[in-house]
Amino acid sequence: MDVLFRNVKELVELAESRNVLISEIMIEQEMNITGRSREDIIAQMDNNLTVMEQAVERGLNGVQSVTGLTGGDAVLLQNYIAKGNSLSGELLLDAVSKAVATNEVNAAMGTICATPTAGSAGVVPGTLFAVKNKLNPTREQMINYLFTTGAFGFVVANNAMISGAAGGCQAEVGSASAMAAAAIVEMAGGTPSQSAEAFAITLKNMLGLVCDPVAGLVEVPCVKRNAMGASNSLVAADMALAGVTSRIPCDEVIGAMFRIGQAMSPNLKETARGGLAATPTGKAIAARIFGGTA
């Protein structure tokens, strides 16, 4: 197995020395690791893109989870955007609504593409289908967007963690948001170095985020965390494109996230024993859904 890169530093150096996109390096990495053809790998990612698009569309049409805890917020956001007087701006809120739409579909037991997990599946497609309206990418560029997120996700998965059970929500929505920020930069014409800066800026601002699902379900606060993650991605991408850099290198930020995850109490890592899950209302919701006393 020939691994082209193991960390972000190697990834960026490889892309810049060869004057190619990060997404191209990731395609080659996948070819080397799996032994599959370029066409096969791209076709699979094309299918992932279709699944994402369908999930966004379904969520924007309105869905409701079995528990009733989540659903309909993506529609509310689109209605609010249509009024034309939002404070955050149309593109940012569009990304937020589409991230929410995806996670509402997940909560309603619909089909989504885990990027990198089901609980954080809204950020990457939410931002992608929002910036699509701004940048008008080709289908190939949209597929490349996913390969770029995959390149950074590969580094995180192999040097830290991407599951809430292992590292808290910083490892899920935090990683997803940073991955999306890096891909936004590439799609907007930024350099590989700027993609890395965007990743670092995003993840730095989500360090320590706990995983505290109410009633143990991937609904509250997960759906809204994807919304905030999407907004974080866009702001960080703009900062990187403006020339803002992270004083802490990207790989060191990933290392810090890993150590924070290790130090985090098990009560704050997907066990539903702490944080919002342990509030009076959180306990009451769990009791209502599963029986017992709050």
pLDDT digits 0-9 by tens, 112-167: 999 999 999 999 999 999 999 999 999 999 999 999 999 999 999 999 999 999 99
> Mean pLDDT, to the nearest integer, of 211-226?
98
> Tell me: the pLDDT tens digits for 20-56?
999 999 999 999 999 999 999 999 999 999 999 999 9
Whole-number pLDDT of residue 249: 98
> Tell me: the pLDDT tens digits for 58-89?
999 999 999 999 999 999 999 999 999 999 99
Of 147, 119, 115, the closest CA to residue 29 belongs to 147
Residue 294 has pLDDT above 60, yes or no: no
Whole-number pLDDT of residue 292: 67
Q: Which residues of 20-54 are buried (b: 16+ CB within 10 A; e: fewer)?
A: ebbbbbbbbbbbeeeeeeeeebbeebeebbeebbb
pLDDT bucket at 2, cuts 50 / 70 / 90: confident
Whole-number pLDDT of residue 263: 98
Q: Give the bridge partners for 211, in sequence order.
A: 269
Report d(CA 220, CA 233) in Å as an integer: 21
Report d(CA 127, CA 124) in Å as an integer: 5
Whole-number pLDDT of residue 1: 65
pLDDT bucket at 198, cuts 50 / 70 / 90: very high
% of the chain exceeding 70 in pLDDT: 99
Report d(CA 256, CA 47) in Å as an integer: 34
Of 112, 102, 194, 103, the closest CA to residue 148 belongs to 194
Whole-number pLDDT of residue 237: 98
> Mean pLDDT, to the nearest integer, of 2-27?
97
Domain regions of the chain by residue span: 8-54+136-290
Whole-number pLDDT of residue 95: 98
Tokens found for residue 46? 């094309």
By the 8 A CB rule, do 102 and 113 touch?
no
Report d(CA 267, CA 278) in Å as an integer: 9
Residue 256 has pLDDT above 70, yes or no: yes
